[in-house]
């Protein structure tokens, strides 16, 4: 089973009007083009190019365990984390029992699945990922008091934060205190914005405060590792990892779930207690995902989950990938050039930049040829 699939861009406020059209050579809509989903998730299922059926319908109701996306951020996404499997099952059942509608604005758990994910940069990509070290956070808080004209209000609150941070479970208590001050931090974030003129470490706070003035996420962002990815580099985000994408274009893959617990930089629902319950408060220096060479022109991004496996194929006249084993039902997305995809039962499609195809596991082998780059997403659970 081999056929082209497509989808329309989802319009979120943080999306970019230019990144997807310029990179993939598609028509701009004039509106934010934030994400394009390739999968069976009911939130935005991919559709067959030939007859507009949903991919799930074409598969007889079978659901893929992974979701592949193009993500284009022009401004920050919310600060967020995702639950592990046990938390997702328990939270979904609890909210069902409480009678909270699946589409209610205060719903935390949209399904009973975990949501590990990975982002691979196509352009320069800016993100926040995990908490900084204890030393870095302490230095940050102390530096808020360095200017000679610090207000009494900022002095009082920062000294309180330092006291919290110095005790047992200090980072957790600091995080909860800041996040619960929603609507009460305008003066603090405004003063830190002014400090950006004196210290580069507050430049991010100044940028974020222009978009979300007084939001606790402006402060929380300073507690997080600030990461820049070059094209081809990737970040893996396990359950409990606090993160936010700030800008850039990438290919994202995740378990097929819509469970998101938000903590700031958003007007959407925030449940501080539930977010606290799923967060990992251990300082965590971010590490780039390692890749493994499988053949000339073919690499695998190594992650510790079975829900998804992601490969990148770089093809040219001298590089043809023939008779590769299919690990399971797959989505192939062409991100550059032109790729010919064929399988062992003599089906064939040609993908231009920005086009995608579904590759079923009914054929045991497949081949890639042409000149360009493609990402192949599959799962050990398929």
Lookup: tokens for 40: 């069976």
3-state SS class at 26: coil
3-state SS class at 333: strand
In this structure, what are the phi and psi dihedrals at residue 58, rounded to the nearest 5 degrees? -65, -25
Q: Is residue 348 annotated as part of the catalytic site, yes or no?
A: no
Query: Residue 60: exposed, middle, or buried by beta-carbon count in 10 A (0-12, 13-18, 19+)?
Result: exposed
* Residue of 296, 268, 265 whose CA lies nearest to 368: 296
Question: How many whole angstroms separate alpha carbon 72 and alpha carbon 126?
Answer: 11
* Residue of 284, 266, 295, 239 whose CA lies nearest to 136: 284
Strand partners, 356: 5, 333
Question: How many whole angstroms separate alpha carbon 275 and alpha carbon 362?
Answer: 41
Number of helical H runs and strand E runs in the chain: 10, 19
Rg of the chain in Å (alpha carbons) = 22
Please report, to the nearest 10 degrees, the dihedral formed by the alpha carbons of residues 28, 34, 38, 42 taken in order.
-120
Residue in 47, 107, 113, 262 annotated catalytic: 262
Question: How many whole angstroms separate alpha carbon 338 and alpha carbon 355?
Answer: 9
Question: How many whole angstroms separate alpha carbon 201 and alpha carbon 221?
Answer: 11
Catalytic residues: 262
């Amino acid at each position: 089973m081999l056929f082209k699939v497509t989808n329309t861009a989802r319009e979120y406020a943080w999306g970019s009007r230019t990144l997807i059209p310029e990179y993939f050579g598609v028509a701009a809509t004039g509106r934010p083009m934030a994400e394009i989903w390739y999968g069976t998730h009911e939130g935005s299922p991919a559709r067959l190019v030939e007859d507009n059926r949903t991919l799930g319908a074409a598969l007889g109701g079978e659901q893929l365990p992974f979701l592949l996306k193009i993500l284009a951020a022009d401004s920050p996404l919310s600060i967020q984390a995702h639950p592990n499997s046990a938390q997702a099952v328990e939270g979904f059942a609890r909210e069902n029992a409480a009678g909270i509608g699946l589409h209610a604005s205060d719903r935390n758990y949209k399904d009973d699945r975990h949501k590990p994910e990975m982002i691979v940069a196509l352009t320069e990509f800016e993100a926040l990922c995990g908490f900084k070290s204890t030393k870095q956070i302490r230095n940050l808080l102390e530096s808020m008091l360095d200017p000679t004209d610090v207000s009494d209000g900022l002095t009082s609150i920062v000294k309180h934060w330092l006291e919290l941070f110095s005790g047992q479970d200090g980072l957790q208590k600091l995080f909860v205190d800041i996040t619960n001050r929603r609507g009460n931090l305008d003066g603090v974030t405004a003063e830190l914005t002014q400090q950006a003129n004196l210290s580069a470490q507050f430049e991010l706070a100044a940028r974020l405060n222009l978009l979300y003035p007084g939001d606790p996420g402006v402060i929380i962002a300073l507690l997080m590792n600030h990461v820049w990815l070059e094209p081809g580099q990737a970040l893996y985000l396990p359950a409990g990892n606090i993160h936010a994408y700030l800008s850039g274009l990438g290919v994202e893959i995740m378990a097929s779930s819509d469970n998101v617990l938000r903590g700031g930089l958003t007007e959407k629902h925030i449940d501080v207690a539930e977010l606290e319950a799923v967060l990992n408060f251990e300082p965590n220096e971010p590490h780039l995902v390692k890749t493994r060479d499988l053949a000339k022109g073919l690499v695998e991004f190594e992650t510790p989950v079975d829900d998804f496996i992601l490969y990148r194929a770089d093809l040219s006249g001298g590089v043809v990938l023939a008779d590769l084993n299919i690990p399971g039902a797959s989505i192939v997305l062409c991100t550059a050039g032109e790729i010919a995809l064929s399988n062992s039962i003599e089906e064939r499609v040609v993908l231009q930049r920005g086009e995608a195809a579904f590759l079923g596991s009914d054929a045991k082998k497949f081949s890639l040829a042409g000149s360009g780059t493609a990402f192949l997403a599959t799962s050990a659970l398929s």
